[in-house]
Structure 1
């Protein structure tokens, strides 16, 4: 079920840790699944969160390709066709199959411009990013590391499930991601998130307000914490 633009814009107002906390409340339990586990690099730490539907592909760059150049070109064009066919509120999720040995930057000035113009909002990738001063404005780039070269980078698979930063993502999955990491959620969960977010923020603010009162001590902490625990999971 596609979510309304208004709801997606509302979710973009909040960082991913807040959404992760609110998801615990929505689900009624905590979990060690459904979110990224490895650190990432935000090209612009102040960028708004990426919130939308995953368009997935895989790349690699460490070694020279063994396929014919025509095959690689055709797959590249199929990839761009896939990007151009993206529905509104889409983001790219790109797995670099070289993993910890990733060396080739697919994301820089050129590809951020092309993808922005083709209609997607940003990218979440465990691969290499570059051209930090020349990336397309209002295109969020969350990468695995920064590097200077594209090496032998090429697309290896399009519209397939991927794994980035320890998180499994399938095409069409709803994602919320920012400089802290990414979470995967369902449309039903997203519908109830605004109320849960308000509850979480209110509970945390009450605890912080109590802590900032002059004379705050352990007894005051116990009282404030008891009230706080009643409003979270």
Structure 2
């Protein structure tokens, strides 16, 4: 069953969600859930949004880790990822850690059209991974967000190492079941128990910023603009 509150979160861009979650802990609209600089709660510049035209994507995190084949551990398969996504609340954002040697990671087109199509069928609306993937044109019609570090055409043999364990991708540490909010600015995470409060505070912040920017557009007087902006970055 889909959580309709996550549709409410799509009214706001990802920077607004970031502001509410942790960016300005001294502000009344901010929950202060993480240290703004060191909390590992949002992604860094390495992550690229493949389909900015899709707008905001929100979902419950399912995580997995892929690496090179290991003869001593080969019990997990992609089918297990599909089962995990199927069991999670909907919609789902799949967060994939690529645990490969760097020279392999740079040329690993891990997720492609077949995997993404299967994932969509079990409720996944987007994928985040800290490496490249492929089949950009094939995946585009699916309407799923693809957040990658780049693209590459091929890959060798890889294997699933874990499902629904804590992972870190592009500077963001994610646990299964957390909320992921992402758009062309990157991705932000927060615990699912804060969904309602994040929506309330994001609405307040959005109203403040709409009013502030409207006032600034009505004047070219620098002192008036400074007055309007007073307190924003103090």
Give your verdict on TM over 0.5: yes
Specify the SS of the correspondent of 1:148: coil
Query: 90-99 or 20-29, which moves further after superposition?
Result: 20-29
Question: Unpaired runs of 5+ in structure 1?
Answer: none
**2:85 counterpart SS class:** helix
Using the TM superposition, give the Cα deviation of residue 132 of structure 1 relative to its aligned residue in structure 2, in angstroms. Answer: 0.9
Cα 1:190–1:83 shift into 2, 3 Å: closer
Aligned to 1:134: 138
CA contact (8 A) 1:56 1:162 kept: yes
Deviation at 1:58, TM superposition (A): 0.3
Q: Distance in 1 between matches of 2:214 and 2:79?
A: 55
SS of corresponding position for 1:56: strand
Specify the SS of the correspondent of 1:208. helix
Equivalences, count: 222
Query: Which of 6, 31, 45 is equivalent to 2:4?
Result: 6
| Separation in 1, partners of 2:12, 2:42 | 16
Query: Which has the larger displacement, 116-125 or 21-30?
Result: 21-30
Kindly indicate whether residue 64 of structure 2 is the aligned counterpart of residue 60 of structure 1: no
* Cα deviations by residue, 1:91-147 (Å, 9 ceiling, x for unpaired): 211101127541211222111101111222221111212111110512111112111
User: Aligned-pair RMSD on alpha carbons?
Assistant: 2.6
TM (norm. structure 2) is 0.83
**Per the alignment, do residues 99 and 116 of structure 1 end up closer, same or farther by CA in structure 2, a change over 3 Å counting?**
farther
Matched, 1:42 2:49: yes
Say if 1:207 and 1:147 are closer, same or farther in 2 by CA, change over 3 A: same
1:189 aligns with 2:201: no
Q: Cα–Cα, structure 1 residues 183 and 213, in superposed 2: closer, same or farther, change >3 Å?
A: same
Contact 2:55 2:184 (8 Å CA) reproduced? no
Q: How many angstroms apart in 1 are the aligned matches of 2:9 and 2:48?
A: 21
Shift of 1:74: 4.8
Aligned partner of residue 66 in structure 2, secondary structure: strand
TM-fit CA distance, 1:190: 1.9
Any conservation in 1 of the 2:85–2:92 contact (CA below 8 Å)? no
Correspondence for 1:144 among 146, 149, 173: 149
Change in 2 beyond 3 A, CA 1:181/1:208: same
Alignment partner of 2:163 out of 141, 158, 165:
158
TM-score in terms of structure 1 length: 0.83
Contact 1:57 1:95 survives alignment (8 Å): yes
